Amino acid sequence: MTTTAATTAAERRAAPRFQPALGTVCRLGPAWPRVGLVWNLSRTGLSMLFGDPPPAGAELSAVLAADGGEAGLPVTLRVVHVREAATGDYLLGARFGQPLTDADLAPFLAPPAPARPDVPR
């Protein structure tokens, strides 16, 4: 079986996406010392908003941090794509050097929405 770039991209995008907790950021550095607002997370990567993003293909050290705190989870990222948004910011997609565990992800996820009794399931 041959793996193509399209197949790999489809498999990567099949990973469930999670909504990050409010204020979750990703601090890049030291090669590209910038901070991005995390838009969504999966076990294999993330997307975030940036004003001045690194180029696609860049491999960077980073730290995921909740509420912009100093402590966080060190990760390695490979930038997969960078797209300009209508606001002039950039949406950046990156893959983690290794998948995150449930325990790694937990501090960065928004709590589940409370069930609303007036909305049928």
Q: What is the pLDDT of residues 99-113, one digit of tens each?
A: 999 999 999 998 877
Q: What is the pLDDT of residues 5-46, one digit of tens each?
A: 444 444 445 678 889 999 999 999 888 899 999 999 999 999
Which of 101, 102, 107, 96 lies closest to 67 in space, CA to CA?
107
Q: Which sequence spans correspond to the domains of the chain?
A: 12-99
pTM of the model: 0.79
More confident: 3 or 25: 25
Q: How far apart are CA 61 and CA 33, in angstroms?
A: 10
Q: What is the pLDDT of residues 89-99, one digit of tens each?
A: 999 999 999 99
CATH code of domain 12-99: 2.40.10.220
Read off φ and ψ for residue 119, nearest 5 degrees: -110, 120
Stretch among 4-8, 40-44, 57-61, 75-79 having the lowest mean pLDDT: 4-8
Count of C-beta atoms within a 10 Å radius of residue 50: 19
Token pair, residue 24, equals 């979750």
Helix ranges (DSSP H) in 14-101: none
